[in-house]
Structure 1
Amino acid sequence: MLASSASLVMTVTLFPRRPPALWVWLHVCGSLMCMDAMSSRSREDLLRVLLDTAADLTALRDVEAVLQAIVRRTRAIVGSDMAYVSLNDAGRRETYIRASEGVATAAYRTIRMPLGTGVLGQVATGLAPYQTADYLTDDTIKHLPAVDEVVRAEGVYAIMGVPLTVVGRVIGALVVAERRPRSFSAEEVDIVDSIGTHAAVALDNSMRFEATERIAEDLGRQQERSAEELAVITDVLDLDRRLMDAVMVAPEVHRILRMGRSALGCDLQLLDPEGRVVVTATEDTAAAENIPPLPSATVVPVTAAAEQLGSIVAPVVLSDHDVTLLERVAVHVTLAMLFARAQEDTELRLQSELLDDLLEGRIAARERVERRMHHWGLRPTDGLFTIAIEAPMGEARRRLQAMRTAGVRGAMIVHRDHVCILTSDPHWRASLTRLFAERNWPLRAGFGGPSTDVRAIADAHRSAELALGSLTTLGREGVIDGSELGMLGALLDLDRRGHLPRGLTAIIDPLLDYDAARGTDLAHTAFHYLETDGNIARTSQLLHVHRNTIRQRLERITTLLGAGWDASPRRLEIHLALRVRQARGDLD
């Protein structure tokens, strides 16, 4: 979630009364962000800057102060010529610039455009971040002539923005722009998106607080509202203030839920996106797993930037007044979860840097690498296992988080198309088996090791990848040791690197050519026949055809490959050739 930044060792809280200190902070931050080489220490500093930004934004109650803080911090952190925030006008299906920093012309500062047009209108729809390196020449954008003239007068080329979303509702967009052509990196987009996620919640909170204060003032001035309505406003303000203090002191989800339970007088549960209980605030521990069916419960979503983080469930149907309180609890739970995720992402990034070096064999100083490993309790002398676990597309992060939550020990990252774990825990297999069974996930994993030398971890990882690839190719589940692949493992490794001589697998070309020309399945038949040690009955079961059909196919195979193809020594050569070609996908 967080991108790299330069090292920053100072933190200045943004308050309107201290502009000189603020501008010093912004200047230093903006200068340091332009550095290309960034250490892990710098990333930790950027995390601290972003967390401080989130804390400062959250602490502000004045809408204008929040808006100015957002654009100033964004511009400084990204190092852009300008930054601005737009708010959506739902009634007119438009978005308009409300606050800006670095914009020279009044016309640009007051741009108003329909949703779906330009970069600003496209981002404000809430679909996804969007950018262009040269706005005026970009034909993929829906242009408005009047807006193009304003952009040309301002001298803007590159524009990049992210939507501002709170509880599934798009409230506007956060945009940075340059007066020169520029393509913003994925890391820069992530940084702006991270700021935007926190800023949207803080802005929504400030707008709600300002609106609530305005209502309270009207009530006191006009004395036209009932005492009950005034009590609602008072309760919301009081709960909001206490929740904000809790988030600022210690952003813990369980603590926020307990405060919500105290205010509402009923148990609360936080569920993950799959509906599993994550945190419970209740006095009756026996009821922690009993989630009442709708409509006997009240459910409020917990979302950030259109991402569903989970939901909060109250076991009763709440009044409109209490639903409003529960929604405020959900907003602050969102903030706490975002703080936790930011810290977790930094931890994962540091692990990723270490494991990338180990898995790719980049070990310049062995002692230094081992010192970094000690941070996660990894010591080569304990014997290190390298594990490659299958992770379907889009599921890798969730499975990695589940393993961390379940207490799987060691360092772990998403590596290529799988999750990789480096651990010295001898019981890692039992932990993974139990976790995947509880989640009803198929477990496919290969491993190498244990290794007592950090320089052997790269080879252990290659063995683990080969083992995982074999399980995936054969459609089997389980955990296998890469060293058990033997000769096949060596051949697959040679083939993966393009070093396997063509002649070693050409022996089965007659079968593949025959199948391709006639639509038959002789290659699969030969493969399963040799895999089952010549068992015709088992082969017929695997291919779902009659035994006589298998016998007829074997006769045709003998005709194509010659007598004795299924006897030593040719049997081994043909079997290995079939295994290699299957791993390539030639038998599909």
Structure 2
Amino acid sequence: MHSFPAYRAAALSVRQSAPDPGGTVSQDMSEDGVLAVLELLAAGAPAQEYEVLAERVRSAGAGPEHLDRLGSAIQLGLSIRTWTERQKQREAGMSALVDTARDLATPHDLDTLLKVILRRARLLLAVDMSYIGLYDEGERYVSIRAADGHTTALNVGLRLPGGTGLGSAVMANPSPFWTPDYLADERIQHSGEIDYVVKAEGLQAILAVPLSRGASPFGTLYVAERKVRHFTTDEIALLSSLSDLASVAIEKAELLDRTTALVAELEQHSTRVEAGLRSAQELSDAQHRLIQLVLGDCDLDTLARASATELGAAVQVCAANGTVLTSAGLLRPAGEGAGGAEEAACAGGADGDRAPDPIESLLVPAAMDAHAAREPVALAGGLWAVPISAGTGSNLGTLLLRPDRPDAVQDERLLRLVAQVMAVQLLVESSRTAIAEGQVRDDFLADLLASPQRPPHQLEQHARRLGINLGKPHVVVVARPEGDARGKMAIWASSYAHRLSGLKSMHNGCAVLLLPGSDAGCAGRAVSAELSPLLGHPVTVSSAGPVAGPASVHHGFQEALRCLDAMTSLGVIGRSASVRELGFLGVLLSDNHDVEGFVDSVIGPVIDYDQQRFTDLTRTLETYFEAGGSPTNAAKKLHVHPNTVARRLERISELLGPQWQQPERALEVQLALRVFRVRHSLRMRDRAGPGADGGAPKAQET
């Protein structure tokens, strides 16, 4: 504890014991007391020293007037002392604020900066806790972003309900707002959620100041005390100054974060661009190497091996008709092929007993998908199929490949590049490969189907050069997809014709096949069974034949087209039928109107039986239908016993089969009987002259 000076105490003691004529001693004592106040003030003595001084002067016997003067001096000294202390506090606060500004000027990310601001706020105002709430413009709510001095995890991340708490008041009217006891303050619009957190933290006094960007607040800076406290104007001003500095620093930190993110994005973009440039350069180098091989007059085998090296994969080059032109590396198919032998056997071809190549079952759907999409297609089992084409709609073949490593991801640009180089090589070798042969065979079938045709002898010579024997029976099959085939039909037709040693052509979106064989219905059903699952939608298939010779191919094609139109009119799309299978409609649709063949196919066994046994089953059959299917009425018309008619009908069932009385079959039987009777009557009239009986004597069957 400070004490006033010793000489001033001694003077007071002497004057207290000496006589005082005229009040001179009291006056001196008063003056010495004022000087003592000044000395205490200069020494920075605490407030209690001033009380000690007043008590000693009073004990020395000073009068009231002089005591009043001393009291005034003491009050003035205490005021000067208080003002001095406040000045020192302000200087300390400003010094701390300068240090804070220096800290905030250092580049920080936003989260680190908020921690620096909150730590400085606690030190400046010597409070228990500080925290910051920021406004999210996108989500349109205020949440507590960071805190310092908190004792629970409830504060950080708390979303403040709108219109409640100190923050809402500060955001609505951007100015400081404080309360000595938050929970007891009725001026505040309380929220149960906020009050719960305040109770958990044990907070009472809270001061909130706005964080502003220009005139628009974007958040709130809070300081809180865990006891009742009245914040002074200097403290409020100091925290407001800190919030101004913090607002600028936060804005700079957000700008720095955005800039950093943009720089990172630009770096990633630059990395991608550099990688793209390197990839483009590698593609250019690979194209240069492969083109140099083509220009150097290499063969397809050499190009395939070079392509396998560039791709890091086993490759196989196939022509449009499925012929494997060359391979480099081991290309294992994903599954065994199925089909091919059964179709060939059904069509009666020479290769009916040929075992199918397993790669064919893989190539056909893969080639169809790749050429339909006009881009590389990833297949099951790590395989890729790449279309080889020269211009729109030109199918030169398919490139199949399997990467050396199962997890390798193929660059589709490199696949297209290799396919383009392959197309160039195949075009160069077109006169020596199966591509030219396939195109020539397609053109030859187009010539056979055309009208008018080229001279027959030219077509026969051309057929012999291609190894085709038109003297053997063939069938014509026309397949029409009932959906979007997108070029898949041509791919499949080429492969199918190649497998069965036939010919193919495309006509108005339909696949036209000329296949070795004699059973048109069986050939059509085989085509429908294979093609419909591959396309994923129904296919209408018509067939005609057998045909032999160049001229008959054209007629068979026309019959198959008319059969296709008839199937459409009858509403049997998505099915398979031949001209012969259409029965009497087939007779009407055919060019040669094979009436005799129709009659033989329907009631031929009955006619032959009558001719061989001299019976009258044909007439019995006619009378049976004329009698409305009644054996009794038929017996009356024939003048025989009903049992005789019954026995004849049993014989007819043995000859025609048990289904001859079904409505559809019965109609064909009646039509055949009518045609047979008319033809027979006309022939007998021509032989016997006018008036001759058209009937033929027959022995009665008993």
Normalising by the residue count of structure 2, what TM-score does the alignment of the two structures yield?
A: 0.30
